[in-house]
Amino acid sequence: MLAEIHGKISRSLSNLHDRSEDQLTGDFFGSIRYLPFEVGLQKVLMRAKCYSGNNEQQIAGYHDTLFSISKYNYHMNFWQRLPDHGEIDILLSSTTADCLIGIEVKYESKLSSDDDIAYASSQSENDDTSIESINQLKRYSGAILRHYAATHKHLVLLAPVGSGSLIADDVKRRNLVASGVSFWLLTWQDVLDALNSIEIFHMPEWGKLVISDLIQLLSIKGFDCFRGFNQDETVVNRKLAYLYKSGNERIVWPTLNVVARKAKYEYS
């Protein structure tokens, strides 16, 4: 709905499909904003990992930002136009705290613009010929730094774990994010984990429905990935079968009581 309201879906619906990044952005953030911040968004954003500067200092500042917002004391602007620097997917600001969080969402696409320029080595006050990187996240961080007065400024990349890690590692290596803006990676897989960890038993029915719908949405998008077995035994008996539970799923490994050493087994 939000993607359509903001003109991200054509009237002919030609760009509406199950891989639409804007549609996923609108569906997820448009739904989770109905929950009080500390119930939904705070739990999700806390899963982000720091990719800039002094980690301890950056992490403390980011967590302070998240805990300074409560209930509905924030604004969430969708597809906010940044002065001369493009359009960021989410710009979140608090009505009670001096902070700003920009969120750039990726699903299956890469950055809209990039190059191989290292920002730190390409910028020089005394060199008029220095070339500035056009990297999308570099541009967004610069716009956030220059055009917004908030003391605490953060830029979050929300992406699948594989592509997101590659982008975040590259941005950190090239020192692309503007000094004064902390940079974070939040994966869709961690978002789904955060949603699954939310205690919903004492929530009103409408809140349970929001969480349930978001979990189903991210699951069908393919973000419910296998993260390994959790087992309490320090020694696994090769001749025994073990039962693992994940939510409502029951996984027996192996399916036979005895494992043949030379046989091949496939689990999917």
pLDDT for 80 equals 86
25-47 pLDDT, tens digit each: 989 999 999 999 999 999 999 99
Going through the chain in order, the beta strands assigned E by DSSP cover 49-50, 74-82, 86-94, 99-105, 152-159, 182-187, 242-246, 249-253
194-221 pLDDT, tens digit each: 999 999 888 999 999 999 999 989 988 8
Please enumerate, as own/partner, the contacts of 8-14 that have beta carbons within 8 Å and a separation of 24 or more. Answer: 8/79
pTM of the predicted structure, to 2 decimals: 0.75
Give the whole-angstrom CA distance, residue 214 versus residue 218: 6
Q: What value does the mean pLDDT take over residues 153-162? A: 93
What ranges do the domains of the chain cover?
Answer: 2-120+131-220
Cβ pair 227, 249 in contact under 8 A? no
Cβ pair 213, 31 in contact under 8 A? yes
Name the more confident of 128 and 27: 27
Name the more confident of 201 and 186: 186
pLDDT for 17 equals 47
**What b/e readout covers 115-134, taking b as 16+ CB neighbours within 10 angstroms?**
eebebeeeeeeeeeeeeebe
pLDDT for 247 equals 54
- The DSSP H or E segment spanning 207 is helix 205-220
Mean pLDDT, the chain, integer: 79
Name the more confident of 16 and 222: 222
Whether cis (ω within 30° of 0) applies to the bond prior to 83 is: no
Q: What value does the mean pLDDT take over residues 254-258? A: 56
Full DSSP string of 39-92: TTHHHHHTT-EE-SS-HHHHHHHHHHHHHT--TT-EEEEEEEEETTTEEEEEEE
